[in-house]
A and B are shown apart, each in its own frame.
Chain A
Amino acid sequence: MPPWFEAFLSAFLLSAGYNTAVVAVGSALLGAGGGAIGAFVLLRKRSLVSDAMSHATLPGVVLGFLFGLAIFGDGRSLPLLLVGAAFTAGLGMLAVNWIKANTRLTEDTAIGTVLSTFFALGMVLLTVLQSLSVSGQAGLSGFLLGSTSGMLASEAMTIAVAAGVVALAVLAFFKELTLLCFDEGFAASTGLNRNRLDLTLLVLLLAVVVIGLKTVGLVLVIALTIIPPVAARFWTERVGRFVPISAAIGAFGSYLGACLSASAPDLPTGALIVLILFALFLLSLALSPVRGILSAFIRHRRFQRIVHVRQGLLALAHDEPILEPITRRLMKRRGYVTGDLRPTESGWSAARRIARDQALWNLWREDCPDEAHALADWSLRPIDEVLPRDMVADLEARLGLKAEPARGATA
């Protein structure tokens, strides 16, 4: 076993010491909080706001450091740095909201402007601070890309508690946030205050961004609130599951990333977490049976085959040639036609059955166009399997066909 893997495994099993364990669990809670609130932000279609927020934290981090230096003689207090970060991030958020509300600019333009301006201000402040060569300022650059190496247990504890509070708040406002994201007009008509709810959502997002700074870094913290919900969306069609799945993906990815980082302290923790989250996203996109591309592909192929066989049999019934190569291949494989495209006995009987089916379906669609519209796969399944016996019998009588009791009995 290579030594790095050994280190990873012991971190993963929470047996690499108190400090590492607290950091790993804190990261998992952070991921859960980010995934949960990110799910709602995604449904509200405001995912990019977190990017403006995260970049707007930088001047606040530096100011928090300077404030600590001036008052306590030491700037390296995580709570103080985070308060500073939250302060300027809040300003950034208000700036985005103000631009959106009072100008004709769209939100993405506002985000771009605010993001770059605040980040530029932060970089200037940081460079000035670095040129002063005060002690402890070297740690500040860790806020850019995130680092859990050398994180104190007390710091990790702060992050864990704050993330837990965010997760609880999401639970508390679950109904109201759902309503806001789905139908804000209706939400307001039931007496919910849209602005206050939106503010709640953004403040919770801000909280995740700020507490995620130390672990993931401000450049990448947006991934914590975007990738988990996007990945989770592949797995479910219900918001009651979507949010917990998103939280679980966030938690798992962050936990794994923190453990990997413990085994390779030189690698940036934030980048590791984001890469793992992205891998989870890829897995979801490919493999989810609900909305994944693999299952969509299989569904499509199955559908295509049904259509081709059906059309091939209809062609037989109407004594028309089968032209499409795919149809020919499928018909041969099912034994409906011989190698030189002559219909077999089973081909004839299947063709007769399908022709009857199609005639009945067509008649039914003339009778009930609305129901036909509502039924996604009308005419692709045998009509006896879809419509009640009496309706089919009625249609048959009107077409002058005699019923097929044998088939009806098995259906």
Chain B
Amino acid sequence: MKIDHVSGGATKIALAEAGRRDVLDPGSPLAVAGLTVAYDRKPVLWNASFSAPEGELTAIVGPNGAGKSTFLKASLSLIPRLSGEISVYGKPMEAARGDVAYVPQRSSVDWDFPATALDVVTMGLYRQIGWFRWPGRKDRERARAMLELVGMEAFSDRQIGQLSGGQQQRVFLARALAQDARVYLMDEPFAGVDAATERAIVDVLRKLLAEGKTVLVVHHDLETVPLYFSHVLFLNAGTVASGPVTETFTAENLQKTYGGRLAATQLAALGEAAKVRG
């Protein structure tokens, strides 16, 4: 609440200018305007606005503590926000749960949980199954098919704690695939995975794109941004820049987002990578 006083009218003007139009755009898979989130009294996300391009693969990048995960969580209304509006194809998030799939960070759950890989993927179907009903044979078959898509069919009966980190990440991905959503929000799916899993995840992302889905991925590896993604959102407390990788993934925007944390040579190399792809 305090933050509103401090920011005064500036926030409101910014909201009106940058945000409203997006929120009112019913065609946007995910539109966020004036999103501000604070833990206790420390603002983590500051007046962030963004409209996800439909049918595109967007990387969300930014330094540690830039509020990338917070942006996803707040967009999904998983954590309370001080201000901001969110819409999914013109509907409020609460009315669009079936359209959105979320892949949380792997470290956010206790993998000692008594469940097999297949059990976890089946959880992605719980919403469709509905209250007071149990997963049937069809649901299990669908879950198995999703495990196959991520190359994990051989591990379907293994307890999740006995999977490698990359395999656990694939299980999470399969669970999101089972949801058959229109918009996918993924929090660091590439973090700490092996090369084979990275390839498998990229394959899945491309498949989602081919089906016309919209995907947002919190990503930490700047070098692969131009390789894997078509769009990029630079985040550092607020939205710094967003747009197609070819236009937006520039040394200037990287500098603005990361400040002095990237060396000049790194910046040049990344800029080159983007240009080559473009």
Residue of A nearest to B179 (CB): A190
> CA of A27 to CA of B125 in the docked complex: distance in angstroms?
37
Binary contact track B107-123/A, C-beta < 8 Å → 1, others 0? 01110011110011001
The reply to whether A238 and B116 contact each other, CB–CB distance below 8 Å, is: yes
The reply to whether B167 and A242 contact each other, CB–CB distance below 8 Å, is: no
Chain A proximity of B38: nearest CB distance (Å): 16
User: B197 in the interface, Cβ–Cβ < 8 Å?
Assistant: yes
The reply to whether A176 and B126 contact each other, CB–CB distance below 8 Å, is: yes
Residues in B whose Cβ lies below 8 Å from that of A183: 104, 108-109, 123
User: B234 in the interface, Cβ–Cβ < 8 Å?
Assistant: no
User: B166 in the interface, Cβ–Cβ < 8 Å?
Assistant: yes
Task: State the majority secondary structure of interface residues on A.
Answer: helix
User: B24 in the interface, Cβ–Cβ < 8 Å?
Assistant: no
Given A178-B123, A185-B73, A242-B108 contact (CB < 8 Å): no
The reply to whether B123 and A182 contact each other, CB–CB distance below 8 Å, is: yes
Say which residue of A182, A240, A373 sits within 8 Å of B109 (CB atoms): A182
The reply to whether A373 and B164 contact each other, CB–CB distance below 8 Å, is: yes
User: B78 in the interface, Cβ–Cβ < 8 Å?
Assistant: yes
> CA of A373 to CA of B132 in the docked complex: distance in angstroms?
41
User: A236 in the interface, Cβ–Cβ < 8 Å?
Assistant: yes
Residues 229 to 267 of chain A near chain B (Cβ within 8 Å): 233, 236-242
Say which residue of B113, B127, B179, B194 sits within 8 Å of A182 (CB atoms): B113
The reply to whether B102 and A370 contact each other, CB–CB distance below 8 Å, is: no
Say which residue of A174, A238, A369, A374 sits within 8 Å of B119 (CB atoms): A238
User: B6 in the interface, Cβ–Cβ < 8 Å?
Assistant: no
Binary contact track B85-109/A, C-beta < 8 Å → 1, others 0? 0000000001001101110100011
Residues 27 to 54 of chain A near chain B (Cβ within 8 Å): 43, 45
Residues 60 to 96 of chain B near chain A (Cβ within 8 Å): 73, 76-78, 94
Residues in A whose Cβ lies below 8 Å from that of B120: 182
Residues in B whose Cβ lies below 8 Å from that of A373: 164, 194
The reply to whether B76 and A189 contact each other, CB–CB distance below 8 Å, is: yes
The reply to whether B108 and A175 contact each other, CB–CB distance below 8 Å, is: no
Residues in A whose Cβ lies below 8 Å from that of B115: 178, 182, 237-239
Say which residue of B116, B123, B132, B179 sits within 8 Å of A179 (CB atoms): B123
Residues in B whose Cβ lies below 8 Å from that of A233: 114
User: B13 in the interface, Cβ–Cβ < 8 Å?
Assistant: no
> CA of A186 to CA of B72 in the docked complex: distance in angstroms?
12
Residues in B whose Cβ lies below 8 Å from that of A239: 113-115, 119
The reply to whether B102 and A185 contact each other, CB–CB distance below 8 Å, is: yes
Residue of B nearest to A373 (CB): B164
User: B195 in the interface, Cβ–Cβ < 8 Å?
Assistant: yes
Number of residues in B with C-beta < 8 Å to the partner?
39
The reply to whether B197 and A189 contact each other, CB–CB distance below 8 Å, is: no
Residues in A whose Cβ lies below 8 Å from that of B202: none
Residues 168 to 188 of chain B near chain A (Cβ within 8 Å): 175, 179
> CA of A370 to CA of B197 in the docked complex: distance in angstroms?
9
Residues in B whose Cβ lies below 8 Å from that of A370: 166, 194-197
Chain B proximity of A33: nearest CB distance (Å): 19
Residue of A nearest to B113 (CB): A182
A-B contact count (CB 8 A): 84
Chain A proximity of B203: nearest CB distance (Å): 15
Residue of A nearest to B193 (CB): A370
Given A188-B78, A233-B114, A238-B115, A179-B197 contact (CB < 8 Å): no
Residues in A whose Cβ lies below 8 Å from that of B101: 189
Chain A proximity of B209: nearest CB distance (Å): 21
The reply to whether A185 and B194 contact each other, CB–CB distance below 8 Å, is: no
The reply to whether B197 and A237 contact each other, CB–CB distance below 8 Å, is: no
Residues in B whose Cβ lies below 8 Å from that of A394: none
Most buried by B among A237, A238, A239, A374: A237
The reply to whether B159 and A186 contact each other, CB–CB distance below 8 Å, is: no
Chain A proximity of B184: nearest CB distance (Å): 11
Say which residue of B78, B108, B113, B123 sits within 8 Å of A43 (CB atoms): B113
The reply to whether A190 and B195 contact each other, CB–CB distance below 8 Å, is: no
Chain A proximity of B198: nearest CB distance (Å): 10
> CA of A179 to CA of B175 in the docked complex: distance in angstroms?
12
> CA of A369 to CA of B164 in the docked complex: distance in angstroms?
13
The reply to whether A186 and B73 contact each other, CB–CB distance below 8 Å, is: no
Chain B proximity of A53: nearest CB distance (Å): 24
Which residues does B use to contact A, with CB under 8 Å? 73, 76-78, 94, 97-98, 100-102, 104, 108-110, 113-116, 119-120, 123, 126-127, 129, 131-132, 134-135, 159, 162, 164, 166-167, 175, 179, 194-197
Shortest Cβ-Cβ A-B pairs, 3 listed: A191-B97, A189-B102, A237-B159
A–B complex contacts, Cβ < 8 Å, 28 sampled: A43-B114, A45-B110, A176-B131, A181-B113, A182-B110, A182-B113, A182-B115, A183-B108, A183-B109, A185-B78, A186-B104, A188-B78, A189-B100, A189-B102, A189-B104, A190-B97, A190-B127, A191-B127, A237-B115, A237-B159, A239-B114, A239-B115, A239-B119, A240-B119, A241-B114, A370-B194, A370-B195, A371-B196
Q: A183-B109, A189-B78 are in contact. List 14 more A-B contacts (CB 8 A).
A: A43-B113, A43-B114, A175-B126, A175-B134, A175-B135, A182-B110, A183-B104, A186-B104, A189-B100, A190-B97, A239-B113, A239-B115, A239-B119, A240-B119
